[in-house]
């Protein structure tokens, strides 16, 4: 039995989720340590977004339990902050950048109260951390995709969460925004926050995250990248044959191969591993 000191930040216990009678995730069990930065990786349709929607209360599981610091997650939802995929947001809604970030405070102050001076100061500080304070009065719809992503991350920070969940935060953003967000996540981890971040970028997950969760409608593997990622795990996750190896310089090479004849004509994709 885990002691209180060893209680995971997030305990996922035999979680099964479906839409109607169709299961999307089956029997997922994982103990997420406190202050860990977890990359959730898998192909389209693997269940990454479904898992996140369960974690933030947008979907109900078919079976299983979720515990946040040993307490039922149903009772701790205000301690979980969510950054959705950009395409899930109606950017035409007439609100300012500051209005969006202040929405992160309503879990603390209630929907019938107006944010006070302290709430506004906290919201502006969150925008400052993301280099967006100068745009506080700008309509959200006028911003670039990378700027909008920063604003939604600022809104999540304004919730002062214990668990931060980000669904594909790097999709469609420029390199400076990606690096700024990665640096901020690393700083939040040092402060004790636990984060789950979905991504299709396996090299990024391997080099910038301390834990990797590989999903394909079930949990394929979970743990430190160098301990759990190998050709068998990647084949189970992505449903194809994978060439996988390390070189002295820390280079990882991946390639799909459906049959022996393709060996001669495939073009391996290489990317830097580690920084």
89 or 154, higher pLDDT: 154
Q: Which of 5-14, 141-150, 212-221 has the highest mean pLDDT?
A: 212-221
The chain-wide mean pLDDT, for the chain, equals 84
Q: Does the pLDDT at position 265 exceed 50? A: no
pLDDT of residue 240: 64
What letters, b where the CB count within 10 A reaches 16 and e where it falls short, cover 78-108?
A: ebbbbbbbbeeeeeeeeebbbbbbbbbbbbe
- Burial status of residue 171 (CB atoms within 10 A of its CB: 0-12, 13-18, 19 or more): middle
Dist. CA 193–CA 37, nearest whole Å:
8
Q: Does the pLDDT at position 127 exceed 90? A: yes
251 contacts 235 by C-beta, under 8 angstroms:
no
17 contacts 47 by C-beta, under 8 angstroms:
yes
Task: Count Cα atoms within 13 angstroms, Cβ side, for 232.
Answer: 3
Phi, psi of 83 (to 5 degrees): -110, 105
Q: Which of 5-19, 30-44, 110-124 has the highest mean pLDDT?
A: 30-44
154 contacts 126 by C-beta, under 8 angstroms:
yes
pLDDT of residue 270: 37
Q: Does the pLDDT at position 7 exceed 90? A: no
pLDDT of residue 250: 37
Q: Does the pLDDT at position 190 exceed 90? A: yes
Quote the pTM value: 0.82
């Amino acid at each position: 039995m885990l002691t209180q000191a060893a209680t995971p930040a997030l305990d996922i216990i035999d979680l099964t989720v479906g839409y109607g009678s169709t299961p999307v995730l089956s029997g997922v069990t994982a103990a997420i340590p406190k202050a860990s930065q977890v990359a959730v990786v898998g192909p389209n349709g693997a269940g990454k977004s479904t898992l996140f929607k369960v974690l933030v209360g947008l979907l109900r599981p078919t079976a299983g339990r979720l515990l946040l610091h040993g307490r039922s997650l149903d009772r701790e939802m205000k301690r979980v902050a969510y950054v959705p995929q950009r395409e899930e947001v109606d950017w035409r809604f007439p609100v300012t950048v500051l209005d969006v970030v202040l929405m992160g405070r309503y879990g603390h102050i209630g929907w019938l109260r107006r944010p006070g001076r302290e709430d506004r100061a906290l919201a502006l500080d969150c925008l400052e951390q993301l280099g967006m304070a100068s745009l506080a009065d700008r309509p959200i719809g006028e911003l670039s995709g990378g700027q909008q992503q920063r604003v939604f991350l600022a809104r999540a920070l304004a919730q002062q969460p214990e668990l931060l969940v980000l669904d594909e935060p790097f999709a469609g953003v420029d390199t400076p925004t990606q690096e700024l967000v990665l640096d901020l996540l690393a700083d939040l981890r040092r402060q004790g926050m636990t984060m789950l971040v979905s991504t299709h970028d396996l090299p990024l997950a391997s080099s910038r995250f301390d834990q990797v969760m590989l999903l394909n409608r079930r949990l394929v593997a979970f743990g430190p990248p160098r301990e759990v990622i190998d050709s068998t795990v990647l084949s189970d996750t992505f449903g194809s044959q994978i060439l996988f190896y390390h070189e002295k310089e820390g280079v990882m090479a991946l390639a799909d191969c459906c049959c022996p004849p393709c060996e001669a004509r495939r073009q391996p994709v290489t990317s830097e591993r580690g920084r």
